[in-house]
Amino acid sequence: MPADPTPPPDEKAESVIRNNRGIVIVVATLGALIILAVGGMIYGIMTKSGKHSDALVTEQADTAPSIPQAAPITGMGTILEVNSQPGRLYLHIRTKSGAEILRIYDENGILISELEP
């Protein structure tokens, strides 16, 4: 009786995996990258939708009191008006001597200039 040249099914499956090892590695790597991309998309959607905790902090910082009030500045006078633009804060102040000045601060709270309008 002649010997059967075909290997048993278990050996055949192992040889197919060995022969295609590069393809298996590429498919596994691409699967991991797809999972990371989907996770990044979910994080981006949550951040943009405002459900992220950082968005809540910026919303609270942008609110201002609805009724304007004069606020005293210790040793200087009274704040008459407050205006802001991106990166700038403008304070219109009446000093104790009665003079009015405009102080301009940058986004870090550093005094940029002081003007007499």
Q: How far is CA 111 from the centre of its chain?
A: 28
Instruction: Kindly tell me if the per-residue pLDDT of 113 is higher than 60.
Output: yes
74 and 54 in a single domain? The answer is: no
Do 77 and 95 reside in the same domain of the chain? yes
Q: According to the model, what pLDDT value does residue 106 have?
A: 86
* pTM as predicted: 0.38
Residue 3 belongs to some domain of the structure: no
Judge whether residue 70 has pLDDT over 60. Answer: no
**Residue 50, pLDDT above cutoff 80:** no
State the average pLDDT over residues 20-32.
Answer: 92
> Are 13 and 54 members of one domain?
yes
What pLDDT is stored for residue 31 in this prediction? Answer: 97
Q: How many domains does the chain contain in total?
A: 2
50 part of a folded domain: yes
Domain of residue 20 covers 9-59
Categorize the per-residue pLDDT at 9 as very low, low, confident or very high, splitting at 50, 70 and 90. Answer: low
Q: Which of 59, 85, 101 is the last residue of a domain?
A: 59
